[in-house]
């Protein structure tokens, strides 16, 4: 339905679970036990004309596969337990040079378990608790390969020759494991307000590796996170004058703040030749500190078949990187200096030293829309805006990105069991307001269907989208890109 995100629908309601992703709201999200499977796949491909050759050159290619699952058991005494998670595989190919490509492969499974119930002995009908634990893995691998070339052009994603990494010191493989958990509590003051507060702690082990037959290098970092969350949802009817139409209002708020502080270590060794000592060392790489906040608000008002929706969000993250003390003999910066002073060393092949840097990223998003519910379907229209700005001590200001789009969608119930859906999106994307020739426009068509057999415990939803993207400026290479996405959901009710 044109990827409408604001209208009231199953799985997209303003609740502590659907909106705020707070596990304390799982019991109220549905009235029965449920099981969902959500397979999805997406792909993209972009091409342009290589200047001076008249041949086609592929500039981007990607493929993603994902399987999500969500299962909840809700009991008559008001408790709930279950799990959710997904497993994803992503491969993205991009141009790295005139004759080479960078191939990135990501595998990321994750799983989380949740228990929730009423507070014992105290305000059982108003207070709830929830506890969750989660575990996730990320396996990232970067490969550098030559482009595949034929008479028509040069293409990505083929079995080109494997090249060595351009930098011996920067990891080209990462393995990240994350373990964490948390607890939340909610209090229902009435239909007008349900508030929740909770906290989560997690620790990620980040290991980087860059190895070959003549060298071996790696990095390691234990990165802990502490997150605090406050959520609130409610509904009511504003007091209006006599004879004025009544517009019930439903709203939700979710806020999060997180902090992290960690130290990264390094190790490296390189063969230096016969009867020569190898380049080797280990020690401290850098100190890292991160702080961030995220706030989201959403509201809807309706009367009869009409519904008005709106949302706003703000996200900010600050990261500070500090190099080791200059007197630290094991620091990476001192190792780089020592290598450059060694006979036969090529300083052009050495990476930059670690420099102190503070980066700040801010994102502001706004959306509003309207929905008209018909006898056998509905029509929806939404406007979305997003602005992103990045500032760094080393690189300075930018990029500053602005995106806006208009989305329209419709659903028509063809029969009592089958519903068809169509949608369209027009998007404008300026990837950097501070520089020219970064403006792109795209058109997206979506289609789908929903199947809910009568007196059945299961339902099926299918969706498909295709997007065409072109530059909104004169470009002699005439770049063009297309993206596709398919998704499904099988929903069982017990």
Q: pLDDT tens for residues 177-191?
A: 999 999 999 999 988
* pLDDT for residue 300: 95
- 195 is a domain residue: yes
Q: Evaluate if residue 121 carries a pLDDT over 80.
A: no
Candidates 330, 341, 428; CA nearest to 386 is: 428
- Span 104-133, average pLDDT: 91
* pLDDT for residue 205: 96
Candidates 370, 373, 235, 234; CA nearest to 308 is: 370
- 17 is a domain residue: no
* pLDDT for residue 349: 56
Where a domain ends, among 300, 334, 355? Answer: 355
Which percentage of the chain shows pLDDT scores above 70?
94
Candidates 143, 268, 147; CA nearest to 215 is: 268
Q: Evaluate if residue 480 carries a pLDDT over 80.
A: yes
The verdict on 185 and 253 lying in the same domain is yes
Q: Respond yes or no on whether the N-terminal peptide bond of residue 475 is cis (omega within 30° of 0).
A: no
Helix (H) or strand (E) holding 86: strand 80-95
The verdict on 168 and 197 lying in the same domain is yes
Q: Evaluate if residue 245 carries a pLDDT over 80.
A: no
**In angstroms, rounded to a whole number, what is the distance separating the alpha carbons of residues 16 and 82?**
16
The verdict on 335 and 441 lying in the same domain is no
**In angstroms, rounded to a whole number, what is the distance separating the alpha carbons of residues 263 and 283?**
11
Q: Evaluate if residue 244 carries a pLDDT over 60.
A: no
Q: How confident is the model at residue 239 (pLDDT cuts 50, 70, 90)?
A: low
Angle at CA of residue 320, ends 317 and 326, nearest 5°: 175
Q: How confident is the model at residue 237 (pLDDT cuts 50, 70, 90)?
A: confident
- 434 is a domain residue: yes
The verdict on 250 and 333 lying in the same domain is no
Contact in structure between 48 and 57 (CB atoms under 8 Å): yes
* pLDDT for residue 432: 94
The verdict on 334 and 473 lying in the same domain is no
Candidates 99, 97, 72, 66; CA nearest to 84 is: 72
Q: How confident is the model at residue 283 (pLDDT cuts 50, 70, 90)?
A: very high
Three-state DSSP at 203 gives strand
- Span 449-476, average pLDDT: 92
- 489 is a domain residue: yes
The verdict on 290 and 370 lying in the same domain is yes
- Hey, what are 302's tokens? 């309706």
* pLDDT for residue 157: 78
Q: Evaluate if residue 243 carries a pLDDT over 70.
A: no
Q: Evaluate if residue 72 carries a pLDDT over 70.
A: yes
The verdict on 332 and 477 lying in the same domain is no
* pLDDT for residue 340: 66
In the chain, helix, strand, coil percent, each to 5? Answer: 5, 65, 30
* pLDDT for residue 420: 96
- Span 217-231, average pLDDT: 96
Q: How confident is the model at residue 350 (pLDDT cuts 50, 70, 90)?
A: low
Q: Which residue has the higher pLDDT, 243 or 418?
A: 418
**In angstroms, rounded to a whole number, what is the distance separating the alpha carbons of residues 427 and 385?**
10
The verdict on 275 and 347 lying in the same domain is no
Total tally of structural domains belonging to the chain: 2
**In angstroms, rounded to a whole number, what is the distance separating the alpha carbons of residues 93 and 366?**
32
* pLDDT for residue 280: 82
**In angstroms, rounded to a whole number, what is the distance separating the alpha carbons of residues 225 and 261?**
8
* pLDDT for residue 53: 73
Candidates 315, 401, 298; CA nearest to 5 is: 298
- 13 is a domain residue: no
* pLDDT for residue 346: 52
List beta partners, residue 439. 430
Where a domain ends, among 355, 377, 411? Answer: 355
Beta-strand runs (E) in 212-356:
215-236, 249-270, 279-303, 306-322
Candidates 433, 443, 446, 431; CA nearest to 470 is: 443
| Range name among 66-80, 346-360, 425-439, 476-490 with the lowest pLDDT average | 346-360
The verdict on 351 and 373 lying in the same domain is no
* pLDDT for residue 343: 63
- 54 is a domain residue: yes
- Span 225-250, average pLDDT: 82
Contact in structure between 297 and 290 (CB atoms under 8 Å): no
Per DSSP, the residues of 357-414 read EEEEEEEEEEEEEEEEEETTEEEEEEEEEEEEEEEETTTEEEEEEEEEEEEEEEEEE-
Q: Evaluate if residue 138 carries a pLDDT over 90.
A: yes
- Span 9-29, average pLDDT: 92
Candidates 19, 37, 46; CA nearest to 484 is: 46
Contact in structure between 44 and 62 (CB atoms under 8 Å): yes
Confidence (pTM):
0.91
The verdict on 300 and 201 lying in the same domain is yes
Q: How confident is the model at residue 383 (pLDDT cuts 50, 70, 90)?
A: very high
Mean pLDDT value across the chain: 91
- 15 is a domain residue: no
**In angstroms, rounded to a whole number, what is the distance separating the alpha carbons of residues 227 and 224?**
10
The verdict on 390 and 347 lying in the same domain is no
- Hey, what are 331's tokens? 């620091």
Cβ neighbors of 451 (< 8 A, separation 6 or more) are: 417, 418, 419, 459, 460, 461
Contact in structure between 270 and 215 (CB atoms under 8 Å): yes
Candidates 216, 205, 36, 27; CA nearest to 130 is: 27
Which percentage of the chain shows pLDDT scores above 90?
68
Per DSSP, the residues of 92-149 read EEEE-SSSEEEEEEEEEEEEEEEEEEEPSSS-TTTEEEEEEEEEEEEEEEEEEEEPEE
CATH number for the domain spanning 157: value is 2.40.170
Range of the domain at 240: 23-322+356-493
- 10 is a domain residue: no
Where a domain ends, among 313, 334, 355? Answer: 355
The verdict on 221 and 335 lying in the same domain is no
Q: Which residue has the higher pLDDT, 439 or 246?
A: 439
Q: Evaluate if residue 297 carries a pLDDT over 90.
A: yes
* pLDDT for residue 191: 84
Q: How confident is the model at residue 394 (pLDDT cuts 50, 70, 90)?
A: confident
């Amino acid at each position: 339905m044109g990827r409408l995100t604001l209208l009231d629908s199953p799985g997209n309601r303003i609740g502590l679970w659907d909106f705020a992703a707070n596990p304390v709201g799982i019991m109220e999200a549905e009235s029965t036990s449920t099981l969902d499977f959500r397979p999805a796949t997406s792909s993209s491909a972009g091409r342009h004309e290589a200047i001076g050759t008249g041949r086609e050159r592929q500039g981007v290619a990607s493929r993603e596969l994902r399987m999500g699952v969500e299962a909840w058991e809700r009991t008559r005494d008001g408790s709930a337990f279950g799990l959710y998670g997904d497993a994803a595989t992503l491969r993205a190919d991009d141009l790295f040079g005139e004759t080479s490509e960078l191939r990135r492969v990501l595998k990321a499974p994750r799983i989380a378990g949740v228990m929730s119930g009423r507070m014992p002995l105290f305000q059982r009908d108003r207070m709830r608790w929830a506890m969750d634990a989660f575990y996730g893995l990320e396996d990232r691998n970067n490969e550098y390969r030559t482009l595949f070339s034929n008479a028509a052009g040069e293409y990505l994603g083929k079995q080109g020759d494997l090249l060595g990494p351009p930098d011996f010191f920067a990891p080209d493989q990462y393995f990240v494991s994350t373990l964490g958990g948390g607890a939340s509590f909610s209090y229902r003051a009435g239909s007008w307000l349900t508030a929740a507060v909770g906290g989560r702690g997690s620790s990620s082990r980040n290991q980087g590796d860059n190895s070959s037959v003549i060298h071996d290098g790696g990095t390691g970092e234990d990165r802990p996170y502490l997150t605090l969350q406050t959520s609130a949802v409610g509904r009511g009817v504003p007091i209006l004058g006599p004879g004025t139409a009544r517009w019930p209002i439903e709203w939700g708020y979710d806020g999060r703040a997180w902090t992290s502080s960690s130290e990264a270590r390094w190790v490296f060794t390189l063969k230096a030749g016969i009867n020569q000592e190898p380049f080797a060392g280990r020690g401290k790489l850098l100190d890292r500190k991160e702080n961030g906040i995220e706030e989201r608000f959403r509201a809807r008002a309706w009367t009869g078949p009409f519904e008005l929706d709106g949302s706003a969000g703000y996200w900010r993250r600050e990261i500070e990187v500090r190099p080791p003390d200059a007197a630290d003999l094991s620091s990476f910066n001192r190792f780089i200096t020592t290598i450059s002073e060694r006979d036969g060393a090529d300083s052009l092949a050495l990476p930059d030293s670690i420099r102190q840097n503070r980066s700040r990223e801010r994102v502001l998003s706004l959306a509003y829309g309207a929905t008209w519910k018909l006898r056998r379907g509905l029509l929806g229209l939404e406007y979305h805006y997003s602005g992103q700005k990045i500032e760094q001590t080393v690189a300075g200001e930018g990029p500053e990105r602005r995106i806006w789009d208009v989305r329209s969608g419709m659903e028509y119930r063809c029969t009592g069991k089958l519903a068809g859906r169509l949608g369209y999106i027009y998007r404008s994307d300026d990837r950097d307001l501070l520089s020219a020739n970064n403006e792109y426009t795209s058109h997206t068509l979506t289609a789908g269907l929903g199947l809910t057999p009568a007196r059945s415990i299961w339902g099926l939803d299918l969706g498909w989208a295709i997007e065409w993207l072109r530059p909104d400026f004169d470009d002699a290479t005439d770049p063009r890109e297309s993206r596709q996405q398919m998704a499904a959901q099988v929903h069982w009710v017990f």
